[in-house]
Every structure is written in C-alpha cells, then in structure tokens.
Structure 1
Amino acid sequence: MVQRQFPKPVEVLEHLKFKTPELDRRKARLESALTIEDLRTIAKRRTPKAAFDYTDGSAEAEISIRRARQAFRDVEFHPEVLRDVAHVDTTATVFGAPSALPFAIAPTGFTRLMQTEGETAGAGAAGAAGIPFTLSTLGTTSVEGVRAANPDGRNWFQLYVMRQREISYGLVERAAQAGFETLFFTVDTPVAGARLRDKRNGFSIPPQLTVRTIVDALPRPWWWIDFLTTPKLEFASLSDTGGTVGGLLDMAMDPTISFDDLKVVRDLWPGKLAIKGVQTLEDAKRFTDLGVDGIVLSNHGGRQLDRAPIPFHLLPDVAREVGRDTDVIVDTGIMNGADVVAAIALGAKTTLIGRAYLYGLMAGGRAGVDRAIAILADQVDRTMKLLGAHSLAELEPRHVTQLERLVPRARG
C-alpha cells in the first residue's frame, strides 16, 4: 500500500512556478510557435483570406504541393551513434561562397501584400542569419531597396523573361549594378498556372475594397491599417499594377521563351547563373552541358503545372549525374529543418524556403522571419546531431531512404 499524508505547505510552494508575463504581444505569439506549421496557423489568423490564400495556395487541385510535402515526410533516416556531436557545422558552400545554413530565402512575388515589411524584412533577416536572399522579378521592393536592407549579405535575383524583353534586360543590368551575385533564369512559367483560390477570392493587385474584403478585414484591422498607411505597392518590373494576379502574370511571362533568350541573358549577366524550374534529368543534363553554374529543381511550389514531378524525388539522380559539374539546389515543400538535411544528404548544395519564410512574415513581420529561420536552424542542428554528422559534408545518401508511396505503373 502507498503511504499517504497531508501535503506540507512548504512543499506545495516549491512546486508553484509563475512565469513572468510577456507584455510584448508579438514576441509572445512568435515565441509560442515551435514549428513552421505553428507560424502558418498564426499567419492565417492575422492575414485576410485573399492574401493568405495567395501565399498558401497552389495550382488547380493543389496536388503538386501536397505530394512534395509528403515526399519529405516519407523519409527514413539512418543515424550513426556514439559520435561526439557537441558541436556541428551547418555551413554550406554554394556558388563558391559560404552560407551559414543550408537554406536560402526563395523568390516570392507580391511579398508586401502578405505583410507590409515584405522583402525588406526577408533580406534583413537573411543578412542577419548569414544566408542568401532572393528577390523576385514580381517582388514589391526594388533591387536597390533589397541591397540597402542587406548591404553586406548575399543577394540573388530571380528573372522572368517577359514579353517586353527590354524590361527583363534592364532588370538584369540593375541587379548587376546593385551587386547581386547570382541570377535565377526561370524556365517553368511560359504561362501562369491556374491558381483557383485566387480566382474564387477575386484576388487582385492592388487589393480592392469590396463587401467581401471589408467583411474579411473586420477581425484583422491591423493588416489594412498597415496596408493603407505605408507606401504604395511598386513592382520591380511592371508599371501597370492593376488587374488580377493571373492577368499580371500572363502579361509578365512569354510562351515564346527559348534557349536564345538564355544566351542573351548569359551574355548580359556577369555573375553566377542558375536555371530555376528544372523538372527532368534530361533538362538538367542539357543545361549543365551549356555551362550554367546551378540547377534549381523546382515545380514553382506547385503553383504552375499541377501533378508536376516532385523535386525531392528527382534530386538523387540529378545530383549523381551533374552534381560534380554544377550546384544542384532543391525547393518546393520544405517545412522542417529535417527536410533540409535530407536534401543535403541526397546531394543538394542548398535548399530554398518560400512559404516557410512567408508564414513567419505574416505572423510577425521581420521578427516573424527571424523566428522562421531560427526554427529551421534549430531543426537542422538537432537533426544533424541525431544523425551523428559533424558537418554537411558528412551527410551522404546512406543517411536517407526515400520511402515509396507513388510508384509508376509498368507500361504495356
């Protein structure tokens, strides 16, 4: 029998611990977020539906993004034990220069719509963390503004080849003059994908005050106050910013883009050149043979062709075939630092985070981006230690098994 007694007041007092309340509400909510999914939950609560859905959604039935995220979940790690991992080195080398962590911020369009600090918050947070920041052609901060926000860090620029070629060429020259070191020549957007959430929401640039948007804004007055009291949205490449997202994208993109355009841009650009949107091994080989500096395996976050190949599944073959000759990067679906570690183990030089950073931005501006980076960095560090890897160079394919869920049927 267990012997029971009346609790002693002194012993009860020993168990009473009261946490000092955090008066900074933004800091409190960000500290409560332990994962990127937690940041997503906060972002959804604080952002009007149309802006959140533009960020969170993808094309048509959104099959591509679900498959991409599932592919990272379907990973089995193989740890090595009894290794001293008190300290690990998370430094990656990509395009010949260091990055403190094996991920960079991906290019995202219309970023100040998610939260008014936009690319300035992303670039500043990237610089503070020692990782690269990528500005989109459809970004809402100029190349000069990003350079000012991240003057000593690594800035990359993502290029759409537009119908009016001189606009694209001018952006290439401006990015070079502003000291951007790497250009992402984007090849997966001859036309805009069918982003049905945006169509159903009547999402437009700039947002329109309709009965629907006013009702949606009532619980989120801070978002509209920020939007209406900060400078007008300005796009890096478009002078006409009115209209639907799809209409703007169709105006910006050109289905006649070809290898001739790549040659012109290569001649204009003095820095490193990577091809973003590669989705087959054959294309990866073709671009590598042309001497590009990087291959970005990406299906545009599932926002272009639905049912597109899963970039993470392509990674082992592409890294094995061309990884000695060019830097292989992967994006789409990364929501955890363990996803990043798995990609590095299978041959990626680095990875790109898009939505993961934007959820932080919507949850708390610059501080939210800092929190997203910190969450991923902590997960990378812990996963490496649990795998017994002292550095990224020690991560190898033997550490990872990609479990099969979708297996192609044999052709008759």
Structure 2
Amino acid sequence: VFGNPVRARTANRSFDAQLRLNGRFDTGTLAHNVFLGLEHWDFYFGYNNDVARYEAAPLNIFAPVYSPGVSYAGAYWSNGVARAISRSVYGQDLIDLSENWRILIGGRYDLLAQRERVFDPLGALTGEPTSSLSKGVKGYISPRAGILFRPNEETQFFAAYGKSLIPNTGVRVQSGEAPPPQQDTQYELGLRREFLDRKMSFEVGLFDITRDNVAIPNPANPSGFYSVVTGQQHSHGVEVNLGGEILPNLKINAAATFLHALVSKDDNIPSQQGSDLLGAPRRVYNFSANYTFDSGDLKGLELGASYYYASRLEATLPNTYGFTLAPQQMLGASLAYSFNDNLKFELNAANLTNQSNWTSNGALYHGEPTTVAASLNYKY
C-alpha cells in the first residue's frame, strides 16, 4: 500500500561571482606564486507541496492496476523557503624555497548567512501542525597548507592539510538557529615516482578525513522532515595509482582504493556509531586501457576498455550483520575517431554485462543498466 499521493513544485536558484588576482614575485631567494580572491554566493530553494486526502489503493506488483488519476481538491498543503548567502575572501601563496622544496600556505574566510522558513499549518509533511523560522550569521575560517620535496626530477614526496566548508542548506532544524555547516578536515601523505623515461608514473597516497556537523533525521520527529546536526563521520585509507604509456600508443591506468568510512559520532542514534557508511566500499579497483592509431589507414582511430570493481556494501545504517549488498562490477568499452584536428566522434558503452549493482541509502536502488552514448565534438 502506497501512502498519500503528493504533488511537489520546487524552485532553485544559484548565483556565484568571483574576482581573483594572480601574481608572481620574488623576495630574496624565495619565489612566490600567489592569488587573492573574493566570492559572493547566493542560493535559494523554495517548495510548495500538496498532499491528497486519501491513500493510494493497494497495488499488485505482478499484475498492477493503476489508479486512473489523483485529485488534489481540498488537499493538505505546506510550503517553505531556504536561502544561504556567503561572502568570502580567500588566498594562497605557493613558495619555492629551492629547487627541491616547495610549501603552500593558504586559507579562506566565509561569512555565511542562512535562513529557513517552514509553514505546515495542517501537518501535511511533518505529521503535526508547525510553523518555524531558523536563521543566523556566522564566520568560518578554513586553512590549508602543504609541503613538497623533490629529491630528483622523477620523485616527489608531499604532505597536505586542509579544511572545507559545505553549508547545510535546506536542512530543517527546530531550534530557531540556522544549522552549522558541514566541515571536513583532511590530512594526506603521498609519493609520486616517474620511470621509463617519465612515460609511466606510480602514485600512492594515505588520507584521513573527518566530517563534522553531519545532518541526520531528528529521532523526535518520526516524519523525518526535521534534522539535527550532531553527527560525525570519519574515513581513512590508501589510494594507489599506476599509469602511463607502456607501449607506443598504448596507455593504461590501474587504480586501487582501500577505504574504511564509518559513523564516528551520533548523539541522537547511538546505535549507528561504529557502523560503516552506506555507499562506502572497503575496496575499489579501476582499470582502463586505450590504444590510438597514429599512422596507416586506421590513423585517428582510438579503442578503449575499462573495468570497475567495488567490494560488498552495507545495506542498512546501523549495519545489520549478514545483510550486505553484492559487489559492484562494470565493464566498459569505447571507440573514437578523429576526422581531423577539429572534428571527433566518440562512442562509449558502460556496464556491458548489465550487472544489477545495487546501492543503498536506507532504501535499495538498482544501478544503471547497459548504456551507450555517442557524441560528435567540433573544436574551433
């Protein structure tokens, strides 16, 4: 039995303007590559929902008989708007200390204003009549830094740190204050090595990411309409990449990611703490190969193949022991032909074996079936 039919009308508007100044200069033996920027971002989201006063009839999925129509006469209704405005300044200085050492220092300041209004006098969506307004203005600093060491032209070692900010726009809270934005903190260590006359490269990176102020459904509101911003997620892992031209005209790329992403904090649903995140497989492998004909009758022709594998996924949060989704696999192929330097035709096929590739965000979703896409590109 389906629930009440709903008719929803939404509107989105996003505006972004940036002014950026770039420059190079020297201070003694140090070479600076700098930029300074200003940004104004304005986002608006509005919705108006009508909920019919009756439930949809039972439906036999093996012999479905659909309702001839839905009447919204006398429907319950609700509406709301969300808006976020950010005024920001950011800058960065990439400093060459010597031929072997380079450091990066930068940061960003966001003055974020948010406003969320909910008007649901009949309780159409929340399950109870409500009218609420959440608003607030607050500043946030997001620093970043990094260091690069090159013992020779083929080898690089690096370390990096950074924070980012993502507004929780459209997240409805009942406190009267705007929800704090999601903030990510990332640490990374890595190595890059080139070989075979720099035609091939090997890269490995270790990362640790903490995501604070994650919005989750408010357990005090069974409708799931309202949220609370108390969650924290943590992930760490290793990424390995090997790629380049192993033979004339033949390029390959092989990548592997070993990841553990989990709920590290949840003040409202403690049972979720320690559970693997949905959509975060422990292992991911990618492989692709591409061959280009650069002479003879087949000059301009490109052939490619790819393979993707992701290990089993958790199906529920909190995780349910023994209830996981099967590994995802996708086989792809591509064909392209360049008629000249300006005109190129491409044909791409994905998931050739038509794997189901189920995913979950609490409900199960069937992955994309076999797809074929063609494009014709012209550069002038």
Shorter-chain TM band: under 0.3
Greater fraction of residues in helix:
1
- Normalising to structure 1: TM-score of the pair? 0.20
Bigger Rg, structure 1 or 2: 2
Greater fraction of residues in strand:
2
